[in-house]
A and B are shown apart, each in its own frame.
Chain A
Amino acid sequence: MTTPRVERPGLYYPKLPATWWLRRPNYVRFMIREVTSVFIAAFLVVLLCQIRQVGQGPEAYAAVMARLASPGWVLFHVVALAFAIYHSITWFNLTGVVQVVRIGDRQLPPALIAGGAFAAWGVVSLVILLFFLRG
């Protein structure tokens, strides 16, 4: 998660090459996590285009479905899905750390909060999937 930074004029920025994040696996994982947002946003733009075509009539809808069945678009959605799942996993893991839940004077362990978030994610996904499977 990117922490908000206060604008400070004259703040010193060390000169780093643009490839600094390739130096350590940790940095690479950080960059992958940040880049997930690009794929998520790209999918949502494609989804909005799909919705627009639904409003244009059955032919337009059939055309956009045929185009999305092509290998390039299938590959895009498979990759986007992998990034989106990575975002969910990292986000829910952090939820347990960021969101402190107290019961009385005791604090729920972060793993339990993360576990609850993962369980809720599964239920929500299943409900949405069943909604479309219902026919």
Chain B
Amino acid sequence: MARTNEPLWWTLFSVGGVVAAFLVPVHIVIHGLAIPLGWIPVSHGRMLGLVANPLIKLYLFVLIALPLYHWAHRFRFILEDLGLHGFRTLLAVLCYGAAIVGTVATAVVLIGI
């Protein structure tokens, strides 16, 4: 499987890397620090209005799901580089599988709001 699907996973890795590079740092500042610590007050009503917006749902889907494939690709090779050469196919299935599960979970959460 790893042989024939390699370009697909590499493309997702690459696109996910771009999304992460441009968007993730500022979102960590906003959602990980500024809003919880009260630097930027954002009411529940405004947040609900945002995540209920279909365009913002699409944006959040891209923001969350694509970098998961970036993680899967890198993490797979981290484990291989640390010596797990004997489990190549298993590692690929587990890593990309986790990214697919994450994608489905993201879609379910966003559609459910």
Report which A residues bind B (CB closer than 8 A): 1-2, 4, 6-7, 13, 16-18, 21, 31, 34-35, 37-38, 40-41, 43-48, 50-52, 54-55, 57-58, 61-62, 65-66, 68-69, 73-74, 76-78, 80-81, 84-85, 87-88, 91-92, 120-121, 124-125, 128-129, 132-133, 135
Contacts and interface: CB of A to CB of B under 8 A. Distances in A.
A63 to B, nearest CB: 11
Interface in B82-113: 82-83, 85, 88, 102, 105-106, 109-110, 112-113
Contacts of B70: 37, 40-41
A73 B28 CA distance: 12
B108 to A, nearest CB: 9
Interface of B: 2-3, 6-7, 9-10, 13-14, 17-18, 20-38, 40-42, 44-45, 47-48, 51, 60, 63-64, 67-68, 70-71, 73-75, 77-78, 81-83, 85, 88, 102, 105-106, 109-110, 112-113
B25 A84 contact: yes
B96 to A, nearest CB: 13
A35 B70 CA distance: 11
A107 to B, nearest CB: 21
Give chain B's interface secondary structure class: helix
30 contacts: A2-B77, A4-B7, A4-B9, A18-B82, A31-B78, A34-B74, A34-B77, A41-B67, A41-B70, A41-B75, A43-B32, A47-B63, A48-B102, A51-B110, A51-B113, A54-B113, A55-B51, A62-B44, A66-B36, A68-B36, A69-B38, A77-B28, A87-B20, A87-B21, A91-B20, A121-B22, A124-B26, A125-B25, A128-B26, A132-B40
